[in-house]
Amino acid sequence: MLQITKIPPQQPVLIAGPTASGKSGLALDLAERDGGLIINADALQVYANWRVLTARPSEEEEARAPHALYGHVDGQQPYSVGEWLREVKSLLEKSALRPIIIGGTGLYFRALTEGLADIPPTPAEVRAEADALAVSDTGLAEMLSALDAATLARIDQQNPMRVQRAFEVWCATGRSLADWHASTPPPLLPLSQTSAYVLNAPRGWLTPRIESRFDIMLESGALEEAKRNLAAWSPTAPSSKAIGAPELIAHLKGEITLKEARARAIIASRQYAKRQRTWFKARMKGWNQVNMDI
């Protein structure tokens, strides 16, 4: 297995990479070798109701090294980057272990190393309005039309979650997301104080891993996990964004075959990985680049 070496003792380690690129194994190897607390930086692995489908570390892996911020949030509960950052801050203050922060959510790493504006929580009525728009045919376009040019330039306009977040901020505060970001406080962990690595995983190398990993998920109980989520399933629930969840739920409802669900989930994973690679390439130029196909 690829290893990261020559890291100063106790220096925080950041490991970012697209889905199925081997981040978890790399972090666990590092924690077992040199010690450390593995902290999740994946927006979907925080949810309790999807372990298999989000590729959360298994109970056996969690027993091999300390882990934090995995599976601790109810699947129906919204969870923001601000909440994640506050929890990371608390862990850094309380734990003497070297943090190994790992995940594929670029926005989390950006907030950690560049700072995050202290935006007030979104009121329930604003969230409900945005949720209703999100599932309508014209919702995304309507939300985008409400945003200012500076905000549109900052966000991924193809990512419904990011668009909805910017829309909610505008509706709730009367200030644009770009305006809030302009008053961002100092970062919790400046990049210069960390050993930061981003895993470069070319499409040709990553695609077979995505396919085989989803098959392993199915063998490991992903369909049974989906059955447990079926009764409370809602496409607007935060945890429903788990890759493969809508597809397996559709199969359980008799709408598509398992073969079709598998094919659609793999396509969704590949599309997600492409968005992640695009983010990392544009936003993580100052990180150490680790080529995974050599």
Per-residue pLDDT of the chain (294 residues; tens, 9 = 90+): 455 767 888 899 999 999 999 999 999 999 999 999 999 999 999 999 999 999 999 999 999 999 999 999 999 998 999 999 999 999 999 999 999 999 999 999 999 999 988 888 899 999 999 999 999 999 999 999 999 999 999 999 988 989 999 999 999 999 999 999 888 899 999 999 999 999 999 999 999 999 999 999 999 999 999 999 999 999 989 999 999 999 999 999 999 999 999 999 999 999 999 999 999 999 999 999 999 876
Element (H, E) at 172: helix 160-173
232 and 282 together in one domain: no
163 and 222 together in one domain: no
pLDDT tens profile 135-144? 999 999 999 9
20 and 136 together in one domain: no
**Measured between alpha carbons, how far is residue 164 from residues 147, 156, 157 in Å?**
10, 11, 10
89 and 197 together in one domain: yes
> Rounded to two decimals, what is the model's pTM?
0.84
Please check whether residue 6 lies inside any domain of the structure.
Answer: no
Residue 75 DSSP class? T
Whole-angstrom distance, CA of residue 37 vs CA of residue 66? 5
242 and 282 together in one domain: no
Provide the domain limits for residue 259.
205-276
Token pair in block for residue 216? 């392993």
Question: CATH number, domain at 50?
Answer: 3.40.50.300
**Measured between alpha carbons, how far is residue 48 from residues 56, 63, 107, 165, 229 in Å?**
10, 17, 21, 22, 11
Burial class from Cβ neighbours inside 10 Å (0-12, 13-18, 19+) for residue 161 reads middle
pLDDT at 181: 84
pLDDT at 2: 53
29 and 85 together in one domain: yes
pLDDT tens profile 85-129? 999 999 999 999 999 999 999 999 999 999 988 888 899 999 999
